[in-house]
């Protein structure tokens, strides 16, 4: 049968399916009469089909499926979670992005938490991480103090923002803009985003 044309096997299947053309049927019959191996193979195919057709009326006993399913091992929680991630790739990517970005923001702000910084101006004085606007001095810009205090004895023509400051000492009448004190992480993120777009 190995030396026989491959189309003969296709003809056998077509014949058994009832889809064979007349010319192919004649060629198949002629070949089967002359080839002992193909004749045996064709007979085995017929027996297989007859067996399947005779067993088509057999049904599983009632409750068979439920019993088999009960005997299968339970799906672990890990597999269920993995399947959920596979079925929801967009939500998984969004959650991962949010997690990484929040970790990045937290690390950036934690780095800055240890450094005392303030708006550079030659008229400001600094004593032990306290920025002082001396009496009689007018600062005509916004002031930002990070990780320190501010004491306004003069006046500020602009906004004053203190990030992680321990004390905010000022008279509101000495500041023409907004006075803002930011201590929490999300407040700092919002401040940094506003500053970025301004």
Strands 117-118 vs 143-146: parallel, antiparallel or unpaired: antiparallel
Alpha helices in the chain (DSSP H): 6-17, 22-34, 36-54, 64-71, 77-87, 89-112, 185-197
Pick the more confident residue, 5 or 57: 5
DSSP summary character for residue 73 = P
Query: Do 56 and 128 reside in the same domain of the chain?
Result: no
Would 90 be classed as within a structural domain? Answer: no
Would 81 be classed as within a structural domain? Answer: no
- Nearest CA to 132 out of 150, 157, 159, 145 is that of 150
The string of pLDDT tens digits covering residues 123-135 is 888 888 888 888 8
Where a domain ends, among 15, 45, 75?
75
Query: Do 124 and 57 reside in the same domain of the chain?
Result: no
Tell me which of 10-19, 53-62, 119-128, 148-157 is least confident. 53-62
Would 112 be classed as within a structural domain? Answer: no
Would 85 be classed as within a structural domain? Answer: no
> How many structural domains compose the chain?
2
Where a domain ends, among 11, 42, 75?
75
* Domain residue limits at 174: 117-197
- According to the model, what pLDDT value does residue 145 have? 84
Q: How far is residue 190's CA from residue 105's CA, in Å, rounded to a whole number? A: 11
Query: Do 121 and 190 reside in the same domain of the chain?
Result: yes
Q: How far is residue 198's CA from residue 182's CA, in Å, rounded to a whole number? A: 18
Cα-based distances in Å from 189 to 78, 98, 118, 167, 182 = 35, 14, 18, 21, 10
- According to the model, what pLDDT value does residue 136 have? 84
Query: Do 70 and 122 reside in the same domain of the chain?
Result: no
Would 104 be classed as within a structural domain? Answer: no
Would 2 be classed as within a structural domain? Answer: yes
Looking at every residue in the chain, the average pLDDT score rounds to 80
- According to the model, what pLDDT value does residue 44 have? 92
Give the mean model confidence (pLDDT) for residues 149-170: 76
- According to the model, what pLDDT value does residue 5 have? 84
Query: Do 123 and 192 reside in the same domain of the chain?
Result: yes
The string of pLDDT tens digits covering residues 70-117 is 888 877 777 777 888 888 888 888 888 888 877 766 666 555 556 788
Would 110 be classed as within a structural domain? Answer: no
The string of pLDDT tens digits covering residues 24-77 is 999 989 989 998 988 999 999 999 888 888 777 778 889 988 998 888 887 777
Q: How far is residue 106's CA from residue 98's CA, in Å, rounded to a whole number? A: 12
Where a domain ends, among 42, 57, 75?
75
164 pLDDT band, cuts 50/70/90, is: confident
Would 88 be classed as within a structural domain? Answer: no
- According to the model, what pLDDT value does residue 29 have? 92
Number of alpha carbons in the 13 Å side-chain half-sphere of residue 122: 0
Cα-based distances in Å from 21 to 15, 49, 118 = 9, 20, 92
């Amino acid at each position: 049968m190995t030396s026989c044309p491959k189309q003969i096997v296709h003809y056998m299947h077509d014949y058994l399916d009832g889809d064979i053309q007349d010319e192919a049927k004649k060629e198949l019959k002629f070949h089967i009469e002359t080839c002992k191996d193909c004749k045996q193979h064709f007979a085995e195919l017929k027996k297989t089909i007859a067996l399947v057709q005779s067993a088509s009326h057999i049904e599983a006993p009632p409750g068979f499926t439920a019993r088999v399913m009960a005997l299968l091992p339970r799906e672990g929680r890990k597999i269920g979670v993995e399947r959920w991630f596979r079925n929801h790739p967009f939500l998984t990517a969004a959650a991962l992005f949010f997690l990484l970005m929040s970790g990045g923001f937290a690390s950036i702000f934690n780095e800055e938490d240890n450094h005392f910084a303030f708006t550079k101006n030659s008229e400001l004085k600094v004593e032990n991480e306290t920025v002082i606007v001396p009496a009689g001095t007018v600062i005509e810009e916004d002031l930002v103090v990070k990780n320190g205090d501010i004491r306004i004895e003069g006046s500020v023509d602009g906004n004053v923002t203190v990030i992680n400051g321990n004390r905010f000492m000022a008279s509101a009448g000495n500041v023409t803009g907004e006075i803002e004190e930011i201590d929490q992480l999300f407040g700092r993120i919002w401040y940094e985003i506003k500053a970025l777009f301004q």
